[in-house]
Amino acid sequence: MLSGDIYLKSLNVFYGPVHAVKGIDLSIEEGKVTTILGANGAGKSSTLKAIVGGVNYTGSIVVGTVPIDGMPVHKRVENGIVLCPEGRGIFYTMTVKENLLAGAYTRKHAKLELAFEIFPVLKERINQIAGTLSGGEQQMLAIARAIMAEPKYLLLDEPSLGLAPVVIEKIAEVIREINKRGITIILVEQNTTLALSLAHKAYILENGRVAAEGKPDELMKSDVIRQKYLGGVRA
C-alpha cells in the first residue's frame, strides 16, 4: 500500500492537439483536504484523471517516495487512489447494494458497514434502484461506492454539482467525516465557498496552469484573487 504526500511534477495532459494541463506542480499533503479550483475547461478533471491513471500524461506523479507513472488504473485503486468522477458514474439500473459492491471490486472482503456508517440513508435504501434516488442521494451513493474501494486518497470531482444548498451542506459534512477517518481528500469544485471551507490548501487552475496557490485564508486576503478567481467570496 502506498503512503505519504502526493507530488505532481511538471504534469502535462494532452488530448491530441489539446494541451489541457500545462506542466503543473502540486503537493498534496497526506491526511489533509486539498482543493483544486478553476473555471470550466481549466484542467481540473484532467488532473484528477492523471492521478488515478485514467489519461496519458507526461511529467511524474510520486506518492511518498514512489513514482507511480507506470502503474495501471486498477493497481492505483488497489493502492488506495480512488476517483469519484464528475457526473457520479453510478449504475442507474442497479440497486444501491449492487452499486456499492461494484465499488469494492478490488477488495476481497468488501464491508458495507463503513459506507452505511457514513451514509445511513443508503442503508434504508439498500434495495432501491439507483436511478430512482434523489440527486443528493445519488451523489451520496457515488461517494459511498468510492469508499467501498477503501481509499487512502479520495479524489472527488465536483460532488456538489447540481445539488440544493441544504444537500451541499450534507456533502460537506460527509467530506469532513471521511477526512477525519484519515483519508486524504483531493476535492475539485466550482463551488469555491464549499471547497475553501473544507480545504487546508487550495490550487487555482487557469488554462491548464496554476494561477494561485495557498491556504484558503491567505488566498481570500487577496482582493485580486477573490475577484478574479473566487467569485468575490468572503471569509
Ligand X SMILES: Nc1ncnc2c1ncn2[C@@H]1O[C@H](COP(=O)(O)OP(=O)(O)OP(=O)(O)O)[C@@H](O)[C@H]1O
Give the interface with Mg ion as residue ranges (CB under 5 A).
44-45, 86
The span of 37-45, 65-73, 124-132, 220-228 binding ligand X (CB under 6 A) equals: 37-45
Query: Judged by CB under 6 A, does residue 192 bind ligand X?
Result: no
Phi and psi dihedrals of 115, rounded to 5? -60, -40
- Grid coordinates representing 149 are 474501494
At closest approach, how far in Å is the CB of 189 from ligand X?
Answer: 9
At closest approach, how far in Å is the CB of 18 from ligand X?
Answer: 4
Query: Judged by CB under 6 A, does residue 160 bind ligand X?
Result: no
The span of 43-51, 57-65, 177-185, 221-229 binding ligand X (CB under 6 A) equals: 43-51
Query: Judged by CB under 6 A, does residue 139 bind ligand X?
Result: no
Which option in Mg ion, ligand X, none does residue 53 bind, with CB closer than 5 to 8 A by kind? none
Query: Judged by CB under 6 A, does residue 40 bind ligand X?
Result: yes
Query: Judged by CB under 6 A, does residue 162 bind ligand X?
Result: no
> The sheet that has 201-206: what strands, in order across it?
81-84, 153-157, 184-189, 33-38, 201-206, 209-214
Figure out which of the listed residues 35, 45, 138, 179 binds ligand X, where binding follows CB under 6 A: 45
Query: Judged by CB under 6 A, does residue 43 bind ligand X?
Result: yes
Residue type, 187: L
**Where does 62-124 have alpha helices with state H?**
73-78, 96-103, 113-118, 120-124
Where do we find the cell 504534469?
11
Query: Judged by CB under 6 A, does residue 4 bind ligand X?
Result: no
Query: Judged by CB under 6 A, does residue 23 bind ligand X?
Result: no
Size of the site for ligand X (CB under 6 A): 13
Q: What angle do CA 191, 203, 39 make, to 5 degrees?
A: 45
At closest approach, how far in Å is the CB of 122 from Mg ion?
Answer: 25
d(CA 233, CA 193): 7
Which option in ligand X, Mg ion, none does residue 12 bind, with CB closer than 5 to 8 A by kind? none
Query: Judged by CB under 6 A, does residue 42 bind ligand X?
Result: yes
CB-CB contact of 196 with 35 (8 Å): yes
DSSP string, 108-126: SS--SHHHHHH-HHHHHTT
Phi and psi dihedrals of 133, rounded to 5? -75, 155
Handedness of CA 95, 54, 3, 86 (dihedral sign): negative
Q: Which residues bind ligand X (CB under 6 A)?
A: 15, 18, 20, 38, 40-46, 86, 190
